[in-house]
C-alpha cells in the first residue's frame, strides 16, 4: 500500500497536532540528585498546548467526581455550539456543546472529533462556569479559531464520527462515557442529519498519525484498518521515520 502524500504547505501531521486544553502546562525545573547524575537523559519536557496528546495528560490532575448537573444535562437548554474555523479542510476539529444550568451558569462538553477515521479521540466536561469564564476559555477550546455552528452540525459531526469509526473498529475515548460527555449531547435522533459532513476522505478512511502516536499505536490502528477495510481500501499518513516498519 502506498501512503498518502501530504499537500504542499501542510506538514505531515497537519491539523492533527492541534489539541486544546483548559490551561497551558507550566515549565518545571527539575533538580537531579547526585544519585541520578550519571543519567544524562534530559527529563521529558511538558508538552505544549497545541501538540497532539490526550487532554487527560494536560488537564489538572485529581478526581473531580461527577457533577449532578451532568446527570441531568439534557434537561438544560443549549447555550450554543462551536467548532474550529475551516474544519472541513483539516479532518479533525474540536466541537464544543454548552448548556445553561438552572442557576444561570454554564456546563459544556469538549469533543475532539477525527471525522476522517478515528471518531471521538478525546472528550471532557466541565460544569458551573460563569458566562465570563466560559467566553474567556472558548478560544482555547477551539484552538483560537472558534466558529459558532448549529446544533444539527455539532451533533452530526460527533454522532456521525462515532458511527463511522465504530464500523472501522474504533471506539470513542473512555472519557466520552466516564466524564458523561455523552449526556451533554442531545440523543442521537434528536436532530436531523443534513449530510453536511463527509466522513473519511475521497470515499476512504484516512488515518493521520500524530507526533505522539507511538509505533505500537500506529501499527495497531493500521492492523485494525487492514482487518475491517482490507488493503487498498484506506489511506494513511505517518511520520517518515517509521515508514519502513509500517509498509
Kindly give the pairing relationship between strand 106-114 and strand 92-100.
antiparallel
Q: Which of 50-54, 104-108, 174-178, 234-238 has the lowest mean pLDDT?
A: 50-54
pLDDT value at residue 64: 55
pLDDT band at 65; cut points 50, 70, 90? confident
Q: Which of 11-15, 55-59, 235-239, 242-246 has the lowest mean pLDDT?
A: 11-15
pLDDT band at 241; cut points 50, 70, 90? low
CA-closest candidate to residue 22, choices 139, 106, 113, 103 = 139
pLDDT value at residue 78: 98
Q: 108 near 99, Cβ under 8 Å? A: yes
pLDDT of 192 higher than 50:
yes
Each as own residue / partner, the long-range contacts of residues 237-245 (CB below 8 Å, 24 or more positions apart, any chain) are: 237/3, 237/4, 237/6, 237/12, 237/14, 237/206, 237/207, 237/208, 237/209, 238/3, 238/12, 238/209, 239/12, 239/13, 239/209, 239/211, 240/12, 242/215, 242/218, 243/3, 245/215, 245/219
pLDDT band at 239; cut points 50, 70, 90? low
Q: 95 near 85, Cβ under 8 Å? A: no
pLDDT of 56 higher than 80:
no
Mean pLDDT for the chain overall: 80
pLDDT of 172 higher than 90:
yes
pLDDT of 221 higher than 60:
yes
The dihedral through the CA atoms of 236, 237, 242, 247 has a sign that is: positive
Q: 13 near 208, Cβ under 8 Å? A: yes
- Compute the half-sphere exposure of residue 131: CA atoms within 13 Å on the CB side of its CA: 6
Domain map (residue ranges) of the chain: 69-193, 201-247
State percent of the chain over pLDDT 90: 65
Amino acid at each position: 500500500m502506498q501512503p498518502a502524500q501530504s499537500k504542499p504547505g501542510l506538514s505531515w501531521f497537519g491539523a492533527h497536532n492541534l489539541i486544546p486544553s483548559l490551561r497551558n502546562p507550566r515549565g518545571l525545573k527539575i533538580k537531579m540528585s547526585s544519585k541520578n547524575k550519571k543519567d544524562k537523559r534530559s527529563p521529558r519536557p511538558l508538552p505544549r498546548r497545541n501538540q497532539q496528546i490526550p487532554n487527560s495528560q494536560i488537564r489538572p490532575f485529581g478526581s473531580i467526581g461527577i457533577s449532578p448537573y451532568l446527570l441531568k444535562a439534557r434537561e438544560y437548554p443549549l447555550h450554543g455550539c462551536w467548532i474550529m474555523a475551516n474544519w472541513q479542510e483539516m479532518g479533525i476539529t474540536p466541537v464544543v456543546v454548552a448548556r445553561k444550568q438552572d442557576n444561570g451558569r454554564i456546563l459544556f462538553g469538549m469533543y475532539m472529533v477525527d471525522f476522517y477515521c478515528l471518531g471521538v479521540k478525546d472528550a471532557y466536561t466541565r460544569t458551573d462556569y460563569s458566562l465570563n469564564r466560559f467566553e474567556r476559555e472558548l478560544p482555547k477550546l477551539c484552538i483560537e479559531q472558534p466558529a459558532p455552528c448549529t446544533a444539527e452540525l455539532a451533533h452530526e459531526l460527533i454522532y456521525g464520527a462515532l458511527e463511522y469509526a465504530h464500523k472501522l473498529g474504533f471506539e470513542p475515548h473512555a472519557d466520552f462515557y466516564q466524564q458523561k460527555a455523552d449526556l451533554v449531547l442531545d440523543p442521537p435522533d434528536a436532530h436531523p442529519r443534513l449530510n453536511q459532513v463527509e466522513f473519511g476522505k475521497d470515499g476512504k478512511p484516512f488515518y493521520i498519525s500524530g507526533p505522539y502516536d507511538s509505533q505500537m499505536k500506529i501499527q495497531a490502528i493500521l492492523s485494525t484498518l487492514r482487518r475491517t477495510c482490507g488493503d487498498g481500501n484506506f489511506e494513511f499518513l505517518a511520520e517518515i521515520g517509521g515508514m519502513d516498519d509500517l509498509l
